[in-house]
Chain A
């Protein structure tokens, strides 16, 4: 009896398991196997004997990594930029969403919405072409048209690290803000309009309405988005930091993040030990940060926790 029941269940669900299999296998290959592969951070990789047979070397790779000033530099850049991105994109994203939501005409709304979303759809290669068109030393539009008209000497943008933190934060805003804007617009659209009517009857100004009705209603979306971003705070968009500064060595000090460091270590310099140690550091600290930020949200407002 027991057997036949099990058999029945098996027959009933087998097709479903088979349908799920390709996806589950893909996660095994693309996600779980590399997780196991993190162990190579503790190995001295020797390609001639193969990765599996390479000898273990304990914490040697980490000692190397943290004895350089790179470790501090990439941590500072990754965290610093992410903090700036979260603040700039949240504040401006909400402001833009509120402005667009004030527009009554449907056509106007669609046009503005599309405009902010447009850069979000472009590849970073295209973005780097555009940035180059603006900032190239000889032919850049900024040097030739704007600075020349103001009588300012041309700036060799790709050789001046001091401008890049601002450029990168701006490019990230330009490319990425549309995503948040659409989420906040959806949030605002979901607010019951009778709240605003009642507030207006009581003589509340627009600014008071925004402060007392709109912003509180957006809090769940803000928390969810910020939580997702804080969970990713130890990660950076490789393309933004590699492609937009055009892989310029002179700018590494302010553009090198953990992701570009790992890539350069692995594929440009061939230093697997160092780059696997940096990757391990990223995976583990990243994981701790996701868990911590979720824990904190769970304490403050359990409904908004991710899990």
Chain B
């Protein structure tokens, strides 16, 4: 197809606008990475820069040599993400399976029970008091996994809709004729055929756990249980505290704080797994988001 001059010009303009947008979206990450490879003195003198005057890998060397807390936090983040995501998928898909079955006695009531949690919630105060006093979740691994993210009504409804629309009921019947119970159907039919939605929902769940720092803020003060986000959060709040209370700062040995470059390096390795995984799973993210716009 031959494009007219006007169309060609329009295409160029569109590309320029989108390239500009891409720069706005990506440049901040470049700045973050550049800061992590900047010489500490240069950084303090010239400030953060996209092209630092003097490079240094000191921050990464420091992390490898004396970063036990960092390695530990990194491991915790992986553990939280994996355990949380598996539990989330298990709970949501089993519940969604039940809600997708025609003829389940009480189906309407259960569906409303799930849906209502999207309309109304108790908020932080009762949730916090209940988890800490009734369930004694403070400073346990559960405190990082259970609140907020272990299941969401929205995901359950999206998974149920997918099961209903994409899995032919004949398959269930065939399975039942062969004498398969619900667990067999769930394992052999629903999970394999539901894979696209489960991968999408699993990704969102994993992302929520990987990025979460609020559960630790509310429920876990024991640093041994902290993930990488909580570690980063503490570092930056310490620095903010010192800069707001400069009279305290003079009495504090600043060298005991990780240098700016080290903090940026930790932030960068916190982002890295997401950056690595994302290109491969981009289409599942896109699908999962597109599904969200279609009501269940």
Contact = CB atoms under 8 A, between A and B. Distances in A.
Contacts of A182: 285-286, 289-290
10 contacts: A27-B153, A40-B125, A51-B129, A125-B270, A133-B48, A174-B24, A186-B290, A224-B293, A246-B236, A282-B123
B124 to A, nearest CB: 5
A100 interface: yes
Most buried by B among A38, A139, A225: A139
Contacts of B289: 179, 182-183, 186
A132 interface: yes
Contacts of A178: 25
B48 A112 contact: no
Contacts of B117: 27, 31-32
B244 A115 contact: no
**From A117, A141, A143, residue with most partner B Cβ within 10 Å:** A141
Interface string A128-148: 111011101111110111000
Contacts of A38: 122-123, 126
A233 interface: no
A116 B22 CA distance: 7
Nearest to A182: B289
A24 B98 CA distance: 11
Interface string A94-118: 0010011011000010111111111
A9 B150 contact: no
B47 A23 contact: no
Interface stretch (B60-68, B191-199, B206-214, B247-255): B206-214
A291 B233 CA distance: 37
A247 B240 contact: yes
Contacts of B183: 15, 19
Contact of A20 (B94, B125, B263): B94
A262 interface: yes
Given A16-B104, A224-B295, A123 B115 contact: no
Contact of B267 (A13, A16, A129): A129
A30 B279 contact: no
Contacts of A96: 18, 21
B286 A15 contact: no
Given A13-B105, A26-B151, A187-B293, A35 B264 contact: no
A65 to B, nearest CB: 12
Contact of B94 (A22, A50, A140): A22
A198 interface: no
Contacts of A224: 293, 295
A276 B30 CA distance: 42
Given A125-B213, A133-B31, A35 B278 contact: no
B167 interface: no
A206 interface: yes
Contacts of A121: 207, 211, 274, 278, 285
**Interface SS, B side:** helix
B119 interface: yes
Contacts of A34: 121-123, 126-127, 130
A33 interface: yes
B285 A117 contact: yes
A266 B46 CA distance: 41
B182 A15 contact: yes
A132 B110 CA distance: 46
A114 B126 contact: no
Interface residues of B, number: 97
Contact of B18 (A19, A31, A35, A112): A112
B210 A23 contact: no
B26 interface: yes
A272 B125 CA distance: 8
Given A15-B182, A96-B18, A122-B211, 11 more contacts: A17-B98, A34-B121, A36-B122, A102-B14, A125-B233, A138-B47, A158-B243, A174-B25, A239-B213, A246-B237, A279-B125
A140 B182 CA distance: 59
A249 interface: yes
A29 interface: yes
Interface string B112-141: 011101011111111111100111000000
Contact of A24 (B110, B122, B214): B110
B48 A103 contact: no
B129 A139 contact: no
Contacts of A108: 15
Contacts of A122: 211, 271, 274
B125 A33 contact: no
Nearest to B234: A125
B186 interface: yes
B21 to A, nearest CB: 7
A283 B32 CA distance: 38
B17 interface: yes
Contacts of A208: none
A99 B18 contact: yes
B35 interface: yes
Given A16-B182, A51-B129, A248 B214 contact: no
Given A17-B98, A123-B211, A23 B271 contact: no
A275 B124 CA distance: 9
A126 B232 contact: yes
Nearest to A170: B24
B80 interface: no
